[in-house]
Amino acid sequence: MLLIESCRLTWPDFTANYSLKVPTGHLCAVVGPSGGGKTTLLHMIAGFEVPESGTLAFAGQDLLPLTPAERPVAIVFQDHNLFPHLTASQNVALGLQPSLRLTGRERALVTDMLDAVGLSGFDQRRPGEMSGGQRQRVAFARALISGRPLILLDEPFSGLDPGLRRDMVQLVDELRRRRPVTIVMTIHTPEDVADLADQMAFVTHGEVAASGTPADILQGPLAARVAASILDE
Protein backbone atom coordinates (compact mmCIF):
# COMPACT_ATOMS: atom_id res chain seq x y z
CA MET A 1 0.00 0.00 0.00
CA LEU A 2 1.11 3.53 -0.80
CA LEU A 3 0.09 5.51 2.25
CA ILE A 4 -0.02 9.30 2.19
CA GLU A 5 -1.40 10.92 5.31
CA SER A 6 -1.71 14.65 5.88
CA CYS A 7 1.43 15.49 3.91
CA ARG A 8 1.76 19.24 3.96
CA LEU A 9 3.72 21.49 1.62
CA THR A 10 3.61 25.27 1.88
CA TRP A 11 4.73 27.89 -0.62
CA PRO A 12 3.79 31.57 -0.64
CA ASP A 13 1.15 31.01 -3.33
CA PHE A 14 0.14 27.39 -2.78
CA THR A 15 -0.52 25.05 0.10
CA ALA A 16 -1.00 21.32 -0.29
CA ASN A 17 -2.22 18.79 2.23
CA TYR A 18 -2.41 15.34 0.66
CA SER A 19 -3.98 12.16 2.01
CA LEU A 20 -4.37 9.13 -0.25
CA LYS A 21 -4.14 5.33 -0.02
CA VAL A 22 -3.31 3.21 -3.07
CA PRO A 23 -3.31 -0.57 -2.55
CA THR A 24 -0.25 -2.41 -3.88
CA GLY A 25 -0.71 -3.44 -7.51
CA HIS A 26 -3.37 -0.85 -8.21
CA LEU A 27 -3.29 1.82 -10.86
CA CYS A 28 -4.47 5.15 -9.50
CA ALA A 29 -5.28 7.92 -11.98
CA VAL A 30 -5.00 11.43 -10.58
CA VAL A 31 -7.32 13.95 -12.23
CA GLY A 32 -8.19 17.57 -11.53
CA PRO A 33 -7.87 21.13 -12.71
CA SER A 34 -4.65 22.64 -13.96
CA GLY A 35 -2.65 24.03 -11.05
CA GLY A 36 -4.58 21.88 -8.56
CA GLY A 37 -1.47 20.01 -7.39
CA LYS A 38 -1.34 16.76 -9.38
CA THR A 39 2.31 16.97 -10.45
CA THR A 40 3.35 18.24 -7.03
CA LEU A 41 1.81 15.10 -5.50
CA LEU A 42 3.98 12.90 -7.76
CA HIS A 43 7.07 15.00 -7.01
CA MET A 44 6.45 14.56 -3.31
CA ILE A 45 6.13 10.76 -3.63
CA ALA A 46 9.34 10.71 -5.70
CA GLY A 47 11.17 12.84 -3.11
CA PHE A 48 11.72 16.02 -5.12
CA GLU A 49 9.49 17.88 -2.67
CA VAL A 50 9.63 17.07 1.02
CA PRO A 51 6.53 17.60 3.16
CA GLU A 52 6.84 19.55 6.41
CA SER A 53 4.68 17.02 8.21
CA GLY A 54 2.68 13.87 7.61
CA THR A 55 3.30 10.24 6.71
CA LEU A 56 4.52 8.87 3.38
CA ALA A 57 5.14 5.13 3.19
CA PHE A 58 5.15 2.35 0.63
CA ALA A 59 4.83 -1.35 1.49
CA GLY A 60 5.37 -0.45 5.13
CA GLN A 61 8.59 1.47 4.46
CA ASP A 62 8.80 5.12 5.51
CA LEU A 63 9.87 7.03 2.38
CA LEU A 64 10.48 10.40 4.02
CA PRO A 65 14.07 9.74 5.19
CA LEU A 66 15.02 8.43 1.73
CA THR A 67 16.55 10.46 -1.12
CA PRO A 68 14.81 10.21 -4.53
CA ALA A 69 17.43 7.66 -5.68
CA GLU A 70 16.88 5.51 -2.60
CA ARG A 71 13.09 5.38 -3.00
CA PRO A 72 11.47 2.33 -4.63
CA VAL A 73 10.11 4.70 -7.25
CA ALA A 74 10.56 5.25 -11.00
CA ILE A 75 9.08 8.39 -12.51
CA VAL A 76 8.28 9.16 -16.14
CA PHE A 77 8.18 12.93 -16.60
CA GLN A 78 5.94 14.89 -18.98
CA ASP A 79 8.88 15.62 -21.27
CA HIS A 80 10.03 11.95 -21.03
CA ASN A 81 13.42 13.11 -19.74
CA LEU A 82 15.42 11.09 -22.26
CA PHE A 83 19.06 11.88 -23.00
CA PRO A 84 19.16 13.23 -26.57
CA HIS A 85 22.70 11.99 -27.33
CA LEU A 86 21.94 8.40 -26.24
CA THR A 87 20.17 5.74 -28.33
CA ALA A 88 16.83 4.20 -27.35
CA SER A 89 18.73 1.14 -26.03
CA GLN A 90 21.07 3.25 -23.95
CA ASN A 91 18.22 5.36 -22.56
CA VAL A 92 16.42 2.18 -21.48
CA ALA A 93 19.64 0.66 -20.15
CA LEU A 94 20.07 3.64 -17.79
CA GLY A 95 17.15 2.22 -15.80
CA LEU A 96 19.20 -0.92 -15.18
CA GLN A 97 22.76 0.26 -15.01
CA PRO A 98 23.66 3.99 -14.76
CA SER A 99 27.24 3.25 -15.92
CA LEU A 100 25.85 1.68 -19.13
CA ARG A 101 28.40 -1.16 -18.74
CA LEU A 102 25.99 -4.01 -19.31
CA THR A 103 26.44 -7.74 -19.04
CA GLY A 104 25.14 -9.92 -21.90
CA ARG A 105 22.10 -10.78 -19.81
CA GLU A 106 21.35 -7.11 -19.17
CA ARG A 107 21.69 -6.32 -22.87
CA ALA A 108 19.16 -9.06 -23.63
CA LEU A 109 16.80 -7.58 -21.02
CA VAL A 110 17.00 -4.17 -22.73
CA THR A 111 16.19 -5.73 -26.14
CA ASP A 112 13.35 -7.64 -24.54
CA MET A 113 11.92 -4.50 -22.94
CA LEU A 114 12.13 -2.54 -26.22
CA ASP A 115 10.20 -5.41 -27.86
CA ALA A 116 7.63 -5.32 -25.06
CA VAL A 117 6.88 -1.64 -25.68
CA GLY A 118 6.63 -2.21 -29.43
CA LEU A 119 9.99 -0.73 -30.39
CA SER A 120 11.92 -3.68 -31.76
CA GLY A 121 14.30 -2.39 -34.39
CA PHE A 122 14.44 1.09 -32.83
CA ASP A 123 17.34 0.34 -30.52
CA GLN A 124 19.86 2.57 -32.30
CA ARG A 125 17.52 5.56 -32.78
CA ARG A 126 18.12 8.72 -30.79
CA PRO A 127 15.16 10.57 -29.19
CA GLY A 128 15.29 13.26 -31.91
CA GLU A 129 14.65 10.55 -34.52
CA MET A 130 11.51 9.24 -32.83
CA SER A 131 7.90 10.45 -32.51
CA GLY A 132 6.44 11.66 -29.21
CA GLY A 133 4.64 8.33 -28.73
CA GLN A 134 7.84 6.37 -29.39
CA ARG A 135 9.80 8.53 -26.94
CA GLN A 136 7.06 7.90 -24.41
CA ARG A 137 7.51 4.16 -24.93
CA VAL A 138 11.26 4.43 -24.35
CA ALA A 139 10.59 6.33 -21.12
CA PHE A 140 8.12 3.62 -19.98
CA ALA A 141 10.62 0.91 -20.84
CA ARG A 142 13.30 2.63 -18.75
CA ALA A 143 10.92 2.94 -15.77
CA LEU A 144 9.84 -0.69 -16.02
CA ILE A 145 13.28 -2.18 -16.45
CA SER A 146 14.46 -0.44 -13.28
CA GLY A 147 12.49 -3.09 -11.36
CA ARG A 148 11.16 -0.45 -8.96
CA PRO A 149 7.74 -1.42 -7.66
CA LEU A 150 6.14 2.04 -7.64
CA ILE A 151 5.85 3.84 -10.98
CA LEU A 152 4.79 7.45 -11.33
CA LEU A 153 3.63 8.69 -14.73
CA ASP A 154 3.15 12.43 -15.16
CA GLU A 155 0.71 13.12 -18.00
CA PRO A 156 1.93 10.11 -19.99
CA PHE A 157 -0.43 10.74 -22.86
CA SER A 158 -0.11 14.51 -23.22
CA GLY A 159 0.47 15.62 -26.79
CA LEU A 160 -0.75 12.31 -28.26
CA ASP A 161 -3.84 12.11 -30.47
CA PRO A 162 -6.81 10.00 -29.27
CA GLY A 163 -5.77 6.90 -31.29
CA LEU A 164 -2.26 6.93 -29.91
CA ARG A 165 -3.57 7.59 -26.41
CA ARG A 166 -5.67 4.43 -26.67
CA ASP A 167 -2.60 2.46 -27.83
CA MET A 168 -0.62 3.75 -24.88
CA VAL A 169 -3.41 2.85 -22.44
CA GLN A 170 -3.32 -0.70 -23.80
CA LEU A 171 0.43 -0.74 -23.49
CA VAL A 172 0.32 0.31 -19.83
CA ASP A 173 -2.25 -2.42 -19.24
CA GLU A 174 -0.09 -5.07 -20.93
CA LEU A 175 3.04 -3.97 -19.11
CA ARG A 176 1.45 -4.08 -15.67
CA ARG A 177 0.35 -7.63 -16.38
CA ARG A 178 3.94 -8.50 -17.26
CA ARG A 179 5.31 -7.22 -13.97
CA PRO A 180 3.12 -6.36 -10.98
CA VAL A 181 3.65 -2.69 -10.19
CA THR A 182 1.75 0.02 -8.38
CA ILE A 183 1.16 2.99 -10.68
CA VAL A 184 0.11 6.54 -9.92
CA MET A 185 -0.49 8.59 -13.06
CA THR A 186 -1.73 12.11 -13.64
CA ILE A 187 -4.07 12.51 -16.57
CA HIS A 188 -6.05 15.28 -18.26
CA THR A 189 -8.49 12.99 -20.05
CA PRO A 190 -9.93 10.66 -17.35
CA GLU A 191 -12.22 8.87 -19.79
CA ASP A 192 -9.09 7.39 -21.44
CA VAL A 193 -8.28 5.41 -18.31
CA ALA A 194 -11.77 4.75 -16.94
CA ASP A 195 -11.45 1.05 -17.89
CA LEU A 196 -7.80 0.71 -16.95
CA ALA A 197 -7.61 2.43 -13.57
CA ASP A 198 -8.51 0.63 -10.35
CA GLN A 199 -8.78 3.92 -8.56
CA MET A 200 -9.22 7.58 -9.40
CA ALA A 201 -8.28 10.54 -7.20
CA PHE A 202 -9.62 14.04 -7.77
CA VAL A 203 -7.00 16.58 -6.74
CA THR A 204 -7.90 20.23 -6.46
CA HIS A 205 -6.54 23.13 -4.36
CA GLY A 206 -3.71 20.91 -3.17
CA GLU A 207 -5.94 18.23 -1.67
CA VAL A 208 -7.31 14.85 -2.67
CA ALA A 209 -10.94 15.99 -2.64
CA ALA A 210 -12.22 12.49 -3.49
CA SER A 211 -10.90 9.05 -4.24
CA GLY A 212 -12.75 5.96 -5.41
CA THR A 213 -13.36 3.83 -8.47
CA PRO A 214 -13.38 5.67 -11.81
CA ALA A 215 -17.19 5.26 -11.80
CA ASP A 216 -17.42 6.87 -8.35
CA ILE A 217 -15.49 9.88 -9.58
CA LEU A 218 -16.81 10.18 -13.13
CA GLN A 219 -20.43 9.23 -12.51
CA GLY A 220 -20.98 9.85 -8.79
CA PRO A 221 -22.07 13.03 -7.00
CA LEU A 222 -18.78 14.74 -7.87
CA ALA A 223 -19.05 14.03 -11.60
CA ALA A 224 -20.25 17.50 -12.58
CA ARG A 225 -17.49 19.16 -10.53
CA VAL A 226 -14.80 16.91 -11.97
CA ALA A 227 -16.00 17.47 -15.54
CA ALA A 228 -16.31 21.24 -15.03
CA SER A 229 -12.84 21.56 -13.49
CA ILE A 230 -11.26 19.68 -16.36
CA LEU A 231 -13.25 21.52 -19.03
CA ASP A 232 -12.30 24.86 -17.48
CA GLU A 233 -8.68 24.47 -18.56
The residues that touch ligand ATP, with contacts defined as CB under 6 A, are 11, 13-14, 32, 34-40
Supply the minimum distance, in Å, between the C-beta of residue 179 and ligand ATP: 27
Phi-psi region of 62 (alpha: psi -120 to 50; beta: other; left: phi over 0): beta
Supply the minimum distance, in Å, between the C-beta of residue 208 and ligand ATP: 12
Q: Tell me whether residue 11 or residue 83 sits nearer to ligand ATP (CB atom).
A: 11
Q: Tell me whether residue 28 or residue 93 sits nearer to ligand ATP (CB atom).
A: 28
Q: Tell me whether residue 35 or residue 118 sits nearer to ligand ATP (CB atom).
A: 35
Supply the minimum distance, in Å, between the C-beta of residue 33 and ligand ATP: 7
Q: How far is CA 35 from CA 150, 206, 233, in A?
A: 24, 9, 10
Q: Tell me whether residue 49 or residue 167 sits nearer to ligand ATP (CB atom).
A: 49
How many Cα neighbours within 13 Å face the side chain of 49? 22
Q: Tell me whether residue 12 or residue 84 sits nearer to ligand ATP (CB atom).
A: 12
Q: How far is CA 216 from CA 3, 213, 225, in A?
A: 21, 5, 12
Going by their DSSP bridges, the two strands 150-154 and 2-11 should be labelled as unpaired
Supply the minimum distance, in Å, between the C-beta of residue 11 and ligand ATP: 4
Q: Estimate to the nearest angstrom the gap between the alpha carbon of 18 and the chain centroid.
A: 17
CB 178 within 8 A of CB 7: no
Q: Tell me whether residue 168 or residue 230 sits nearer to ligand ATP (CB atom).
A: 230
Residues facing 201 on adjacent strands:
30, 211
Going by their DSSP bridges, the two strands 150-154 and 73-76 should be labelled as parallel
Supply the minimum distance, in Å, between the C-beta of residue 14 and ligand ATP: 4
By C-alpha distance, which of 164, 154, 110 is closest to 132? Answer: 164
Supply the minimum distance, in Å, between the C-beta of residue 71 and ligand ATP: 18
Length of the chain: 233
